[in-house]
Structure 1
Amino acid sequence: MLGLQASIGVTTDTAAAASPVVQEKTLSIMEMILGGGTGNVIIISVLFVMLGVALYIYFERLFAIKAASEVDKTFMFKIRDCIASGRLDAAKMICVQTNTPVARLIEKGVSRIGKPLEDINKAIENAGTLEVYQLEKNTAILATIAGAGPMIGFLGTVVGMIMSFHEMASAGGQAEMGALAGGIYTAMATTVAGLIVGIIAYVGYNHLVVKTDKIVHLMEANAVEFLDLLNEPL
């Protein structure tokens, strides 16, 4: 009986020693970039450059738009008081010191006081167009990256599949899975990278559009208030 138990113990120990230890394998970013060959490295490098450009444009425009949206709530009251008392130079000085898109629009209108209301309105509209152009500076590049990123990723997908089918053709249709892995790896890795770049750029672009629209509405509201002020009887 003791001999049987000893035999079972030896067998169990032998099986435990023979069983392989399963180790979890992780994939780093560098392995993902370098693991698919030269084509994979080139395409993902291009996508990383695009991602860097997209992030730079997003944060640069975000801070610029945030600074442009900071308007003193008493600004129009000060302008109203200056115009009512005929102190146009003081009104221009307030606009210069404020230095925001809204202030620059009002400054353009103040400088046209004395001319027909239609001319004043036209001057404000032209100034508003220039201000919107400055607010939207480089956002078109962000939109381009949002569309081009996934397309470049899909280009990598096509290149990877071509590599896989080339291996199959070279092996007479009998290629092993290991030979096809490089092409499939390139196809999947570039697709993921392209989608990440596209999603980040797309979300960033739309966020900037929303922020810009708020400032445009703010400029329009203040321009209307200014024109109404000129129509009020003194």
Structure 2
Amino acid sequence: MNIITGLLFQATEADTLAQMLNEDTSMSFLEILTQGGVLMIPLFILSVLAIYVIAERWRKLENSKMDVAAMLNNIESLLKSGSQQRAIQYCEEFDKPLARILKSGIRRLGRPIRDIEEAIRNAGKKEIYYLEKRMNWLATIAGVAPLVGFTGTVTGMIQAFMDIQSLQGNVNPSVLAGGIWEALITTATGLIVGIIAYGFYNFLLGKINRMIFELENASADFVDLLQTPSRKKKQEA
């Protein structure tokens, strides 16, 4: 009888524990986040800002792409026909970094090649700045979000131990565990925001570097294109 009674008692305890777990896990994701405290507000703001920067930069980079070879061929045809103004107008039809860089070089045709290269270099620096715009925001969010999360956990743990002291240690373990997991919510949220921001920062930075490389190559090809006629003249002479 004692064995049966003990088994029944253990079964009752297991059912009670399962019921408690079901009640805890029935909380929605939003309800769990609201348990993180006041520091969840800056974490929410950081997450929204990160999403905005990621979407805005991705769209900017996608809109900046163009067929480099086709554009250089068209510009070469226009310049060979002596239509410098038409070449400038052709570049103005595209709201792209490469078009603006080449237009700055075409405007200085007739000047020494060094002046043209300098104009292209300055225009390239400006376009690189616009490509990298707001990327520092994403890097800052990747570093700050986990720190905000850790701060929330530390303050939550301090509050939990203050409650233990005020009750002179007579604290239900379930109450203590509840206070601890609520404090850890900010750390988990901060890490998630930071990881996402850091991952997309490196991803977007890679796309930017590739585009910068393409712009530099296209600029060098354009300068070679301008020097080709003079080279032919020298060879004929």
TM bin, normalised by shorter chain, reads 0.7 to 0.9
Identity %: 37
Displacement of 1:61 after TM fit?
1.0
Which residue in 1 is equivalent to 2:48?
A: 52
Answer yes or no: is 1:107 the counterpart of 2:103. yes
CA 1:81 to 1:34, structure 2 compared with 1: closer, same or farther past 3 Å?
closer
Which residue in 2 is equivalent to 1:186?
A: 182
CA deviation vs aligned residue, 1:33-83 (integer Å, no higher than 9, x gap): 233xxxx33111221121111011101110111010133541100111112
Give, in whole Å, the separation in 1 of the partners of 2:182 and 2:148.
12
TM-score normalised by L of structure 1: 0.85
Aligned length: 217
Give, in whole Å, the separation in 2 of the partners of 1:139 and 1:186.
32
Give, in whole Å, the separation in 1 of the partners of 2:187 and 2:66.
41
Which residue in 2 is equivalent to 1:147?
A: 143
Where 1:41 maps in the other structure, the secondary structure is coil
Answer yes or no: is 1:31 the counterpart of 2:56. no
Displacement of 1:179 after TM fit?
4.1
- 1:94 is matched by which residue type in structure 2? Y
Decide which moves more: 181-190 or 43-52: 181-190
Which residue in 2 is equivalent to 1:6?
A: none
Within the candidate set 121, 130, 135, 2:131 is matched to 135
Which residue in 1 is equivalent to 2:233?
A: none
Give, in whole Å, the separation in 2 of the partners of 1:70 and 1:183.
55
Which residue in 1 is equivalent to 2:85?
A: 89
CA contact under 8 A between 1:164 and 1:182: conserved in structure 2?
no
Aligned-residue CA RMSD (Å):
2.2
Within the candidate set 208, 215, 221, 1:225 is matched to 221
Within the candidate set 164, 171, 186, 2:167 is matched to 171
Give, in whole Å, the separation in 1 of the partners of 2:88 and 2:189.
51
* Structure 1: runs of 5 or more not aligned: 1-10
